[in-house]
A and B are shown apart, each in its own frame.
Chain A
């Protein structure tokens, strides 16, 4: 049979971002997939040469608009570690709250897009309707919907008052009730199962060897989550990673859905234990960062790693960012062969690709 090469992307209706896969197909079956990256590359890491280490917070937030809080959190934690700045306890708990809010909005966004990828458009609309509530919470507590810019070196910028916190709890309850209503459709529906069960299987061994991270790894049965390291206030919140063992698209879908509910629970626990006091340590008078560090946090898509190096100057010597989608592309290339062309959007979306993270 003759082989044909079909381009998938860079402009594709299912993915809002330009990823380009060269798919070699035989009849309708894929035998090879070659990724072709670089459409979103901007060269953010070199901006560290001209922006000082405070201004870099705004830059790293724009590595990815979907998980901006977590990028800034990782960067700030790294700088705080080098400079020896102690973060007030209230700020650590608030950081958990905003990170988990962002995780929920990112997972809801993904659940919607995933439903859209197999043509279940009304489910897409339902998830995005629920997501708007999270965006309202973001806007009310931080001042912006998507790129919220709350993390600063030494703490957080905003301090929600008790009334606002009570309001957040009420909104979170609403989100949980809505999600429980949608759970039956997303996880038990015949159409959803037909398109996802047994598609894009990644075994535990493969996931481990290829270095998958985040829900892709946990969907294959490895209980690994950077939140287990206990950064910010996670160490005090008794966090348990969500694990599924099947390793197919359905398992990854289930992991993300259950993680959304787990995040709601984490926010509740963080709010109940929220200490009083300051939210920001003054860092005036402390010397600019001198030294190097590696910092890991858990993004909605998996483990995020920052390497930071400073030499006592206002600008940092090096900022290196390793993002989760970069680690999840090799597993994707293993998942794709053997599937029909019509399954490509479903399998590709199941790793939750964030191209703007990957290419920076």
Chain B
């Protein structure tokens, strides 16, 4: 059983499927996320596939500030994803609210609603930075497995 779990986790990190949700960003980060999928950066060569269904996703890429209307949508998407799941917050707004932090309809960063694993700063971050953030997230996806392994040996 352990062997199968390790095998599945390995595969998960080799070909993670990601879901993108824009919760109130200015589009700057969204188009940079899309640019990651296109020929110049081409994350699909690493097996990263952009899916539209939260039930299929391992990674949630979120951009923009959370507002009072879409925080429910964000929480729903997060709860629909199967564990283990990684959340990557992209852009200054996703981190803290950024330039919009004082606006009346803004709740704040993504971490006010769902737990965030990786923060990618920038306004907007370059595609290289987004890819770096996703790779860091993948490290976290593998990490519990490795920790279990160590405990077993000790």
Interface residues of A (CB under 8 A from B): 10-13, 16-18, 38-44, 46-47, 50, 58-59, 62-66, 68, 109, 112, 124-125, 128-129, 131-132, 135, 145-147, 354, 356
Chain B residue with Cβ nearest A63 = B26
Q: Tell me if B32 and A18 are in contact (CB < 8 A).
A: no
CA distance A43 to B24 in the complex (A): 11
Most buried by B among A64, A65, A109, A129: A65
Chain B residue with Cβ nearest A354 = B27
CA distance A109 to B35 in the complex (A): 10
Given the known inter-chain contacts A43-B104, A68-B28, please indicate yes or no for A132 contacting B123, CB distance below 8 A. no
B residues in contact with A112, CB < 8 Å:
38
B77 within 8 A of A: yes
Enumerate B17-52 residues with CB–CB distance to A below 8 Å: 20-35, 38-40, 50-52
- Going nearest first, the 3 A-B pairs with the smallest beta carbon separation are A65-B28, A13-B52, A128-B38
CA distance A59 to B106 in the complex (A): 14
Other-chain residue from A40, A50, A145 in contact with B24 (beta carbon distance below 8 A):
A40
Q: Tell me if A132 and B40 are in contact (CB < 8 A).
A: yes
Nearest CB of A to B29, in Å: 7
Q: Tell me if A42 and B31 are in contact (CB < 8 A).
A: no
Nearest CB of B to A344, in Å: 14
Q: Tell me if A356 and B26 are in contact (CB < 8 A).
A: yes
Other-chain residue from A38, A64, A128 in contact with B34 (beta carbon distance below 8 A):
A128
**Chain B 62-91 interface mask (CB, 8 Å, partner A; 1/0):** 001101011001000100000000000000
Other-chain residue from B22, B67, B102 in contact with A16 (beta carbon distance below 8 A):
B22
Q: Tell me if A43 and B28 are in contact (CB < 8 A).
A: no
B residues in contact with A135, CB < 8 Å:
35
A residues in contact with B22, CB < 8 Å:
16-18, 40, 356
Given the known inter-chain contacts A17-B22, A147-B28, A147-B123, please indicate yes or no for A10 contacting B51, CB distance below 8 A. no
Other-chain residue from A10, A39, A62 in contact with B28 (beta carbon distance below 8 A):
A62
B residues in contact with A147, CB < 8 Å:
26, 28, 123-124
Q: Which interface class (under 10, 10 to 19, 20 to 34, 35 or more) fits B?
A: 35 or more
Nearest CB of B to A356, in Å: 5
Q: Tell me if B31 and A11 are in contact (CB < 8 A).
A: no
Q: Tell me if B126 and A145 are in contact (CB < 8 A).
A: yes
A residues in contact with B31, CB < 8 Å:
16, 65-66, 109, 146
Would you list 9 pairs from A and B whose C-beta atoms are within 8 A, ordered by A residue?
A16-B34, A17-B27, A18-B22, A40-B64, A41-B105, A42-B100, A59-B99, A147-B123, A356-B26
A residues in contact with B1, CB < 8 Å:
none
A residues in contact with B40, CB < 8 Å:
128-129, 132
B residues in contact with A43, CB < 8 Å:
103-106
Nearest CB of B to A117, in Å: 13
Given the known inter-chain contacts A18-B73, A65-B27, A109-B31, please indicate yes or no for A42 contacting B102, CB distance below 8 A. no
Other-chain residue from A13, A62, A129 in contact with B39 (beta carbon distance below 8 A):
A129
Q: Tell me if B103 and A46 are in contact (CB < 8 A).
A: yes
Chain B residue with Cβ nearest A113 = B34
CA distance A62 to B35 in the complex (A): 19
Contacts A11-B77, A146-B28 known; list 6 others, CB within 8 Å: A18-B70, A39-B67, A40-B67, A42-B67, A62-B100, A65-B124
CA distance A10 to B21 in the complex (A): 9
Enumerate B82-132 residues with CB–CB distance to A below 8 Å: 99-100, 102-106, 123-124, 126
CA distance A12 to B20 in the complex (A): 9
Chain A residue with Cβ nearest B124 = A146
Nearest CB of B to A15, in Å: 9
CA distance A152 to B54 in the complex (A): 42
Nearest CB of B to A51, in Å: 8
Other-chain residue from B26, B29, B35 in contact with A128 (beta carbon distance below 8 A):
B35
Q: Tell me if B104 and A46 are in contact (CB < 8 A).
A: yes
CA distance A12 to B19 in the complex (A): 10
Q: Tell me if A18 and B38 are in contact (CB < 8 A).
A: no
CA distance A131 to B34 in the complex (A): 12
Nearest CB of A to B65, in Å: 6
CA distance A222 to B107 in the complex (A): 42
